[in-house]
Structure 1
Amino acid sequence: MFLSLPLTNMLYFQLVIMAGTVMLAYYFEYTDTFNVHVQGFFCYDNAYAKPYLGPEESSAIPPALLYALVAGVPTLVIMISETVLFLIQYSSKELDSQEKTMLTGDCCYLNPLVRRTFRFLGVYTFGLFTVDIFVNAGQVVTGNLSPHFLTVCKPNFTALGCQHALRYISHQEACTGNQEDILRARKTFPSKEAALSIYAALYLASYITCTVKAKGTRLAKPVLSLGLMCLAFLTGLNRVAEYRNHWSDVIAGFVIGVAIATFLVVCVVHNFKGKLLLSEDPPQDNMPNAPMMNMSRVESPLEKYIASQIWAGADRGYMAVEPHYQESHHLR
């Protein structure tokens, strides 16, 4: 009972953190709670005058496809892998039903398979929303312009007095194009697609490398992992090729995704280490009659001093008695 209460409170605390992360990501993504910084531009700046190739849905890697792959592929791979590993270990050990469940609270028991799967997928989901928050925060704060910004902005250069290309335009009313396209063109740094793709690829590659221990996978694991990383890299290249992001946007997205994935894998899930089945050794609470001689005890300094004095007194008494003993023995 004393162990189940902290575990229950910890579970509730983690759910609160997850809910707060999801809500923050929602406010960044679907509301205007945070205003995007309005960044100015120079007249006829070639860095922002690239052609506009249409909305995001017309891209070679549309957002719907990217989000489906990022959310679905790791979930499917982790669930299948954990189930197969659990069944392999389950069939090789004879454990009773009590050793195949783990207490998670004062009301319910949770199978180790479900516990590991929920742990790995929960951390992965938390990382996805964290990446989204980091990216949206960077886009809102910087307001960096996309390569096709002037194409969708459609400024009236004559009315703005752009007789000289070095004239800097800083006010928001300079644009006459579609406001949604203009707002989207102001949110490019860092690249969300690059960050999400590299995060999912690195997390899944780390899971495959650290978890799969089957024979014959010495070459298959690095090939699969590098293939996932290559797909994420191609996603970033596609964003630059379609003039939707600058190179700096994609590189910044890669850095955010790699940093968050590395932190979660190393510091949170500890390289996906964990037991599929509980140990067969009985807990200490179930052995009240165990001999006390096996328990280690730390001796205090006072006890050491008293023991040394006793041994010193015994030595002095022995030295005083030994001559009389030898003399009496000699007379006999």
Structure 2
Amino acid sequence: HPHLPPSLPASSSLVIMAGTVMLAYYFEYTDTFTVHVQGFFCYDTAYTKPYLGPEDRSAVPPVLLYAVVAGLPTLLITITETVLFLVQYTSKEFDRSEKTLATGDCCYLNPLVRRTFRFLGVYTFGLFTVDIFVNAGQVVTGNLAPYFLTVCKPNYTALGCQQALRYISHQEACTGNQDDILRARKTFPSKEAALSVYAALYLAMYVTCTVQAKGTRLAKPVLSLGLICLAFLTGLNRVAEYRNHWSDVIAGFIIGTAIATFLVVCVVHNFKGKLLLNEESLAEQQTNTAMLNTSRVESPLEKCNEVTVFFTVTAVMNA
């Protein structure tokens, strides 16, 4: 359709998605990118909070968070798109316009499948993008967790920490478990806060923009605020368990909010797809047809010229 924004070819989208997934994999599961070793002051109380155990013992474990972030949007978007499709499928306007918009020379693409895959694909791309931004920030900064010195277990006597203001910058200062130490160096920004607020904000904007049924004027804000509240509680839990600083959580919220807003506004255009543009497309098509018909009407000058030529030819023949 000439009035709809052009989209990237399917092959380009798959290449971009594959590259994003691979980059996220290298950040997450390989040591390709070395974490910056940030130093610390002896006896710094900002890093002596108790260590409450691995992430699996958290009130919001990674398995639960990733399951909700991946499963809830998929379920909600699929159900909503199915309901919207069934409601509009029964209308006559849908039958006329959707065939015109979606039928090509060789095939017909179901609008339900097209819209659902579009919104879920963009959401999935955003998840991996958030993960890349967060991992990049953690690797570059190497910010220390509140429990860093608890798992680091430095030998203060050997380090010469008779003075609390002594700054320790070498990696061999720690004697604790290396996995716990590495995890304690990757806290800024908070991945849990970024992923939770991204999922909550994307779903909140999706529900607000797509659901236009009567009686949802209050239900949509309640659902949106509930999702955002869950994301805020996730960040609050990270601080309460001494796994992140407030600055880590706030930075994660900013990253998740920025990416979700950008994708919704600039990529999916506030979820306004072909399924929701039927009446506007029909009006535009009728306007274009009327303009073409108007341009084909002969002007009085052209009629006058034809009459003049006719009489001239007749006079020559009589002569």
TM interval, shorter chain, is 0.7 to 0.9
The alignment status of 1:202 with 2:201, answered yes or no, reads: yes
CA offsets per residue over residues 174-227 of structure 1, 9 Å max, x none? 111111110000000000000000000000000011111111111111011001
Q: CA deviation at 1:276?
A: 1.8
**Which TM-score applies when normalising by structure 2?**
0.84
- Is the 1:101–1:109 contact (alpha carbons within 8 Å) kept by the matching residues of 2? no
Once the two structures are TM-superposed, the CA of residue 152 in structure 1 deviates from its matched residue by 0.6
Contact 1:42–1:169 under 8 Å retained in 2: yes
Match status 1:16 vs 2:7: no
Show the counterpart of 1:102: 102
Q: Name the CA shift for 1:62/1:97 in 2 (closer, same or farther; >3 Å).
A: same
In the alignment, the residues of structure 2 paired with residue 98 and residue 270 of structure 1 have an alpha-carbon distance, to the nearest angstrom, of 19
- Code of the residue aligned with 1:176 in structure 2: it is T
User: Superposition RMSD on alpha carbons, in Å?
Assistant: 2.7
Question: 1: CA distance between counterparts of 2:52 and 2:15?
Answer: 41
1 or 2, which has the higher helix percentage? 2
What residue in structure 1 maps to residue 130 of structure 2?
131
The 2-side partners of 1:134 and 1:8 are apart by: 25
Residue 16 of structure 2 aligns to which amino acid in structure 1? I
Provide the aligned length of Structure 1 versus Structure 2. 289
Match of 2:294 in 1: 294
117 and 43 in structure 1: CA distance in 2 versus 1, 3 angstrom threshold: same
2:235–2:249: 8 Å Cα contact kept in structure 1?
A: yes
Query: 1:47, 1:147 within 8 Å by CA — same for their partners in 2?
Result: yes
Decide whether aligned partners of structure 1 residues 65 and 112 sit closer, same or farther in structure 2, where only a CA change above 3 A counts.
same
Distance 1:155 1:210 in 2: 54
Cα distance, 1:93 vs structure 2: 2.4
What residue in structure 2 maps to residue 191 of structure 1? 190
Give, in whole Å, the separation in 1 of the partners of 2:148 and 2:235. Answer: 19
Counterpart CA distance in 1 for 2:291 and 2:202 is: 47
Structure 1: gaps (5+ residues)? 298-306, 308-332
- Rounded to whole Å, the distance in 2 between the matches of 1:103 and 1:228 is 38
* Percent identical: 79
Cα distance, 1:223–1:47 mapped onto 2, change above 3 Å? same
Query: Which consecutive aligned stretches of 4+ in structure 1 deviate over 4 angstroms post-superposition?
Result: 277-284, 290-293
Aligned-partner Cα distance in 2 for 1:240–1:295: 68
- TM-score of the superposition, structure 1-length normalised? 0.81
Cα drift, residue 275 of structure 1: 2.7
Query: 2 CA distance for matches of 1:49 and 1:88?
Result: 58
1-side partners of 2:153 and 2:27: how far apart?
A: 27
CA deviation vs aligned residue, 1:224-247 (integer Å, no higher than 9, x gap): 100100000000000000000000
Aligned to 2:268: 269
- Cα distance in 2 between the residues matched to 1:61 and 1:160: 37
Question: Could you tell me which amino acid in structure 2 is paired with residue 35 of structure 1?
Answer: T
- Give unpaired runs (5+ residues) of structure 2: 302-319
- The 5 A counterparts of 1:111-190 are 111-190=110-189
Shift of 1:294: 2.0
1:320 corresponds in structure 2 to none
CA distance in 1, matches of 2:71, 2:103: 29
Closer, same or farther in 2 for the Cα pair 1:124/1:178, shift >3 Å?
same
| In 2, Cα distance between equivalents of 1:103 and 1:90 | 15
